[in-house]
Amino acid sequence: MSVLLDHTAERASLSTSERQEKDADPTPLLRVKELRVSVATRAEVVHGISFDVPKGTAVGLVGESGSGKTLTCRSILGLLPAGAEISGGDIEFAGDSITTLARRDAARLRGTRIAAVFQDPASYLNPSITVGAQLAEVFRVRGRLKRRAARAEAVELLHAMGLHRPAHVYNQYPFELSGGMLQRVLIAIAIAGDPELLIADEATTALDVTVQAEVLELLSQLRRDRDLTLVVVSHDLAVIAQVSDDVHVFRDGHIVESGPTRQVLRTPRHPYTRSLVDSHERFGIDHVRRLGDGR
Amino acid sequence: MTTLNVRGGVGRTADSARGEGIARFSALSAVISTAVALGRALLIAVPVLLVSTFITFMLGGLTKQDPASLVLGDSATPHDIARMQAVFGLDKPLILRYFLWLWNALHGDLGSSWFTKIPVTDSIAQRLPVSLSVAVFALLIAVLLGGTFGILAAVRQGGWLDRVVTVVTSFLATVPGFVAAIALIIVFTLVIPVLPSGGWVPPSAGLLRWASFLVLPSLALSLDTAADLARQLRTGLAGTLHENYIVGAQMRGLSHTRIVFVHALRNGAGPAVAVLGMHVPRLIGGAVIVETVFALPGIGSLTKTAALEGDVPVVQGALLVTIVLVLISSAIVNVLLVRLRPAARREI
Amino acid sequence: MKQVASALRTRAGLIAAVVLALVLVLAVIGPYISPFDPLKNSGAILQAPSATHWFGTDYLGRDVLSRVLAGAPLSVYTAFEAVGIGLVIGVIPGITSVYLGRTYEWITLRVMDGLIALPFLIFAIAVAALLGNAVQQAMIAVGILIAPAFYRITRAAVLSHANAQYVTASQLFGASLFRVIRTHVWSKILPTLVVATANATAAGLLIVSSLTFLGIGVVPPDPTWGGILASDLSYLSQAPYGPIFPSLLIMATVGSLNLLADAIKDTSGDHGRVRLLKRRGRRVGTA
């Protein structure tokens, strides 16, 4: 008896192409149309962004700080900071517009079908409650499980996230865990509600490089095994390269280039993209090409 | 490295069982750790108790009151006075008298009044219920009023309620206790003659009657605390509500009530609880004014009258009892604080 | 003083300062400008406020306004005195506890804890009453009981700066302890101290009124603000307006002290300086 879909196991046994055939659904899970976001002083900071996120894919949004990628995410999540608002365009989720939803409906949507993990994992967990209790809370409140059953589910999910000794971790407070472990906990909490879309906004930026790779691998696995659709936001090309199928390059509130990740990173067309790739290589981190080859 | 466990049967059972075992263990250990914390808090209280009781006792020692000559009158000879003093035990050195007094106190003997010869413990026992009921009632009212308005103001930050609460709490901080008491009397006994303006009736004479005598004094006593509590809670909670983990909780679809009471309050209530702890001595000690205005036979008025008469044992005994009550409540408050915010343990 | 000056630039601070200045003036010249002899009884008892008696008369026919004015110096001075005592007894151990070794620190902490454990008002009453029922004793008692608050506040302020790098640096350069404290730490804790003093004076005034209300430190028929209210209590049914003016006076003084304290807090320290400058329209560079 569990909240999580049972048929993910079944789906995991299918190959990628078979799966893609199975749900050849033309409507993208998420569609952003001409999104415009303005800040209090009427200054527009996102100028008509459009992109689609097909179901089951992983889309990367890359760009420097201030390029608008985070604001775009926040708009999708309905978490724009005070003073910022959507001044134009539309966002559709599974065919329905969500920008026009009332707050309560939007909130329900967020909890169930769209989930997110952010940059500073420790700050997103209540410092005074054990991480296990916070995870179990989702099962109790959303899945209406009893205390014991919720705890069992939580421990199991922690194990699935790759945490060793999950029962021990369950009883830890956030300040007792490392960044990587915390991020795994947050990912667990995010998928405990069985969402269709997971947005990872600079989720690995604060982590060590090795841990970063592990967490990204976890996200990819989740995508394959639970049929999760991913949107990965980062300023780091290596992150995008490891995880996403398609990439959109953000600059100053515009998307300057889009396309399959491998292609864009190997043969960038827009000069800005080219400079991003170049500076990445110049500092000796040459995953990009290698990973691109490996796909 | 990273393994995504396809949920199989065996691994699941083992983990759940282990999870349950750990859970039961953690519940027990929570109880134990609270007990330990309480014990530790009480232990720290010992030197504090010693210092405060010593100061209290010294007070008696410094007084120029001399029960011997008071009892014997003007015609007493120095010899008689010295003998009388021996009877009162006043011939021994101060330190010795202090420890004797403390020792007796631990056995429940606080001496007797110099004037009425009534054992101090009896006088106190008679009056303690009165003071305690007023203090407890006042605490309840303060928590209810202060808590409600503090939380409401924080949740609706920047709104009209928030502003009203800020103004009212600042205003209440300037009102002396006796002014509040007098104002309440004017309103509830003169303008709308609904409650008695003073006096006391034990609960045995009817709960409603007893309560009617308690309402105004407790209300008067609680206002100061309620205002402080509301302000601290509003500030603490308002800051907490902006934290990322609150956003996270909202994103998980948790209800607003749950977020405020389960998540936010835990972290935002810290300063409020600490302030409450500081107010408990005031509630116990400040009852003097309320007892005077409303003519309540409590410990406060006992101490005041005894002090004005120079009846040292009574004063010392009453102060001792009050100090013990204050220390116990401080210990409880400290434990509460740690339970609320385990993370704060590191900062202490 | 600089802190007070900058606080005066805010509207709240200005209002508070004006009210306080008024009260201080009253405290000094009050007894000389009262229209009637505060001690003189008359037949016109318990009269409502009128043109001749602005605050009305009390149960012995004495002019309330005159009594209030006459009571001003006592109430105000004694509050200052208590705060002064508390300041000295609290601040010095507060600062030194950080620097003079563990034992000293532990001792001061326990002593202060012991003082805090004492039920304030009752203890003050006991001290005042047992040691000769005069205002002096009461004030000393109140001062001693206020000291722990100053101790804690100063100590916390010093602790937060004691480990600052510039302090360590100056010690490395061979500056003596006293010099370090005077040059670096003192100026940083001064704002906090000033705020605490203002708040303490407000509290002190409340306590003095409470004590005089209860009859401690009062020598009848000398008027004190608390004492006036105490006598009003007995005649409440006949003259319910009696307590209004003295209460308002107390509250106004206490309120403006707190207001001033808030104003100083808002405008002091780095945070406060930035706010002030922004208000004046100067561009402030943010680090």
pLDDT tens string B184-198: 888 888 777 777 777
Please say whether the dihedral angle defined by the alpha carbons of residues C175, C176, C181 and C182, taken in this order, is positive or negative: negative
Report how far residue A64's alpha carbon sits from residue A70's, in angstroms, rounded to the nearest whole number: 10
- CB nearest A128 (choices: B5, B7, B343): B343
Confidence of residue A231 (pLDDT cuts 50, 70, 90): very high
Confidence of residue B10 (pLDDT cuts 50, 70, 90): very low
pLDDT > 90 fraction of chain B, expressed in percent and rounded: 7
The reported pLDDT for the residue numbered C279 is: 59
The reported pLDDT for the residue numbered A22 is: 46
Interface of B with A in 190-249 (CB under 8 A): 243-245, 247-249
Residues 6 or more apart whose Cβ sits within 8 Å of residue C36: C53, C62, C63, C65, C66
Confidence of residue A6 (pLDDT cuts 50, 70, 90): very low
Q: Do chains A and C touch (3 or more CB pairs under 8 A)?
A: no
Q: For A267-271, what is the mean pLDDT?
A: 88
What token pair was written down for A162? 């790759």
What token pair was written down for A7? 């048929």
Confidence of residue A291 (pLDDT cuts 50, 70, 90): low
Report how far residue C103's alpha carbon sits from residue C106's, in angstroms, rounded to the nearest whole number: 5
Residue of chain A nearest B264, judged by CA positions: A126
Q: Does C244 touch chain B (CB under 8 A)?
A: no
Average pLDDT, chain A: 82
The reported pLDDT for the residue numbered A294 is: 52
Residue of chain A nearest B340, judged by CA positions: A128
ipTM of the complex model? 0.77
Q: Which of B131, B170, B172, B288 should one mutate to test binding to chain C, selecting the residue with the greatest count of C CBs within 10 A?
A: B288
Q: For B107-131, what is the mean pLDDT?
A: 82
Confidence of residue B72 (pLDDT cuts 50, 70, 90): low
Q: Do chains B and C touch (3 or more CB pairs under 8 A)?
A: yes
Q: Counting runs of H as helices and runs of E as strands, what totals does chain A give?
A: 13, 10
The reported pLDDT for the residue numbered C1 is: 62
Residues 6 or more apart whose Cβ sits within 8 Å of residue B318: B120, B124, B299, B302, B303, B306, C122
Higher-pLDDT residue of B27, B293: B293
pLDDT of B202 above 60: yes
Q: Where are the beta strands (DSSP E) in C150-217?
A: none
Residue of chain B nearest A190, judged by CA positions: B252
In three-state secondary structure terms, A15 is: coil
The helix-helix angle for C135-162 and C186-213 (nearest 10°) equals 150
- CB nearest B23 (choices: A124, A151, A225): A151
Confidence of residue B299 (pLDDT cuts 50, 70, 90): confident
Confidence of residue B281 (pLDDT cuts 50, 70, 90): confident
Q: For A131-155, what is the mean pLDDT?
A: 88
Side chain identity, residue C55:
F
The reported pLDDT for the residue numbered C11 is: 77
Q: Which of A159, A172, A228 should one mutate to test binding to chain B, selecting the residue with the greatest count of B CBs within 10 A?
A: A159
Report how far residue B340's alpha carbon sits from residue B342's, in angstroms, rounded to the nearest whole number: 6
A–B interface: beta-carbon pairs under 8 A: 121
Residue of chain B nearest C201, judged by CA positions: B174
Report how far residue A166's alpha carbon sits from residue A161's, in angstroms, rounded to the nearest whole number: 9
Confidence of residue C175 (pLDDT cuts 50, 70, 90): low
The reported pLDDT for the residue numbered A31 is: 87
pLDDT of A17 above 60: no
Q: A35: part of which helix (H) or strand (E)?
A: strand A30-39
Residue of chain C nearest B330, judged by CA positions: C117
Inter-chain residue contact B182 with C243, CB threshold 8 Å:
yes
The reported pLDDT for the residue numbered A24 is: 54
Side chain identity, residue C198:
A
**Mean pLDDT lowest for which of B15-19, C14-18, C92-96?**
B15-19
CA distances from B128 to B135, B298, C127 (A): 10, 6, 21
pLDDT of C272 above 60: no
Confidence of residue C229 (pLDDT cuts 50, 70, 90): confident
- CB nearest C122 (choices: B64, B177, B288): B288
Q: For C173-194, what is the mean pLDDT?
A: 74
Sheet of A197-201: strands edge to edge? A114-117, A197-201, A229-234, A58-62, A246-251, A254-260
Confidence of residue A157 (pLDDT cuts 50, 70, 90): very high
Q: Does A216 touch chain B (CB under 8 A)?
A: no
pLDDT of B12 above 60: no
The candidate with the shortest Cα–Cα distance to A132, out of A182, A180, A179, is A182
The reported pLDDT for the residue numbered A43 is: 83
Chain C contacts of B55, Cβ < 8 Å? Answer: 114-115, 118
Average pLDDT, chain C: 77
The tally of CA atoms less than 13 A away on the side-chain side of residue A118 is: 17
The reported pLDDT for the residue numbered B5 is: 35
